[in-house]
Amino acid sequence: MKTALVTGANKGIGYGIIKHLGLSGWRVILGARDPKRAEKAIKELKSLGIEVLGWVNIELADIESIEQAAAEIKEKYPELSLLVNNAGIPGDMSVDGLHTEIRDIKETIDVNFIGTFTLTQLLMPLLEKNNGRIVNITVPSEISPYWHPLAYVASKAAQNAMMGVLAMEFQQPDTPLEIFSVHPGPTTTDLNGNMALPGFHDIETVGLKTAELINDGKRHQGEFIELYPIVKED
């Protein structure tokens, strides 16, 4: 049985991904931190005929919460074979890099990198047993001249480095694990204040295309895949 955990799955890109994974035959587990939103999302997914196994409370800023969530997943869902690290926070996008507070950088890195890495690390033994995959939803490490909030970009650059290092290590001893990263491209979500400029895509489109990528039957070890690359202006 194909079983997937998607973090931040009760709304936004995470919801789009888990919806289309479910529609393509995956049994799904929601990672979330808001019970009401999680239950609402589960109700909507089940109405589409998706097999939802349940939801797990994961607060990526809290190591103890991550440890408890990982223990619950190992106990309840031993068949887990896919982890989609989607959850994250934007940091303060209203300030330029020079005026970014150190506290904001720490908080954003704690969630987007340290929290994500901790969950990945704790679930790796289970995923390895099931010949599993890890997919990170991220942005390029290269700095875009059009959008570059320091705390967020720095946290995702660290996450990208994690992916690259683990991919190399998975290959060396022929470990039955795969990890790769997906950049959805400009997407209208709560994270960016529901920005909808030319070139932006919606959650439905990104969710479908991400699920298609996961289901394409190809090996993507260590790849950074852009679904919709940012088009440079003249």
Give the position of tokens 């320091």: 150
Tokens linked to 25: 């035959």
> HSE of 177 in the Cβ direction (CA atoms, 13 Å)?
24
What local confidence, expressed as pLDDT, does residue 233 receive?
47
Contacts of residue 146, Cβ cutoff 8 Å, sequence gap at least 6:
230, 233
What local confidence, expressed as pLDDT, does residue 234 receive?
41
Full pLDDT tens readout for the chain, 234 residues: 799 999 999 988 999 999 999 999 999 999 999 999 999 999 999 999 999 999 999 999 999 999 999 999 999 999 999 999 999 988 777 777 777 889 999 999 999 999 999 999 999 999 999 999 999 999 887 776 666 778 899 999 999 999 999 999 998 877 899 999 999 866 556 665 555 555 666 778 899 999 999 999 999 999 999 887 765 544
The predicted-structure confidence for 176-198, as pLDDT tens digits, reads as follows: 999 999 998 665 566 655 555 55
CA pair distance 152, 141, nearest whole angstrom: 10
CA pair distance 42, 45, nearest whole angstrom: 5
What local confidence, expressed as pLDDT, does residue 200 receive?
65
What local confidence, expressed as pLDDT, does residue 189 receive?
62
Buried b / exposed e along 68-97 (16+ C-beta atoms within 10 A): ebbeebeeebeebbbbbbbbbbbbbbeeee
CA pair distance 134, 177, nearest whole angstrom: 8
**In terms of Cα–Cα distance, which of 64, 89, 73, 125 is closest to 12?**
89
Q: What is the pTM of this model?
A: 0.90
What local confidence, expressed as pLDDT, does residue 186 receive?
62
Residue type, 16: G
Note the Cα 116 to chain centre separation in Å: 8
**In terms of Cα–Cα distance, which of 169, 72, 173, 78 is closest to 126?**
78
Give the position of tokens 């099931």: 130
Residue type, 182: V
What local confidence, expressed as pLDDT, does residue 198 receive?
54
